[in-house]
Amino acid sequence: MNLVFATHNPNKLSEVKELLQNSISLKGLDEIGCFSEIPETGNTIEVNATQKSSFVANKYQINCFADDTGLEVEYLNGEPGVYSARYAGEAKDPNANIELLLSNLKGVENRKARFKTVISLIINNEEFLFKGIVNGVISESPIGSKGFGYDPIFIPDGYTKTFAEMDFEVKNTISHRALAVNKLIGFLNQL
């Protein structure tokens, strides 16, 4: 099956391709000639995922899926949430986002957080949603050089390392994106 993942992010594309292995031919937006910045104006992760998949499906008349991910910190009432990528501003600078988040948690004992990914699949003009959530805590400082985004400060429950310290293979079995993608794959395998 041919599918388009509505992303320009090569890290996300690589993660998902690794999970899909060879069962599905997956392309990113750049590979189909879509260089548009797709709107993400929703007030929930679900709405943003749907906006992106709908944009691509309608414009290119192809089966596709999009994801949206947010880091939700309990003490900050779910922030940065839907604004995770642009928490420190429209430049979408991951280091600035991490610095701001750590600053907002300075001296705070409750560091509980969760990563949430929602995938919106549009196949044959019908939408299906898949969700993945992983709970954890925010570290005191960034640790590790693997991964991207908030990975250097997120320690999933049951582990002592941040996502950025984990081998790709380990992270891809427990991450929020992996959980959502595995639900997507299970669905696609039933078609």
Domain range list for the chain: 2-189
Catalytic residue status for 67: no
What average pLDDT does this structure show over 2-31? Answer: 85
Active-site pick, 68, 93, 151, 167: 68
Residue 190 confidence (pLDDT): 79
Q: Are 135 and 116 in contact (CB under 8 A)?
A: no
Distance between CA atoms of residues 119 and 14, nearest Å: 16
Q: List, for residues 113-155, the tens digit of each pLDDT value.
A: 999 999 999 999 999 999 999 999 999 999 999 988 999 999 9
The model's confidence at residue 186, banded by pLDDT at 50, 70 and 90, is confident
| Identity of the residue numbered 47 | V
Helix or strand run (H / E) with residue 32: none
Whether the model clears a pTM of 0.85, i.e. scores above it, the answer is: yes
Q: List, for residues 53-65, the tens digit of each pLDDT value.
A: 999 999 999 999 9
Using a pLDDT cut of 90, give the percent of the chain over it: 76
CATH class given for the domain over 2-189 = alpha beta
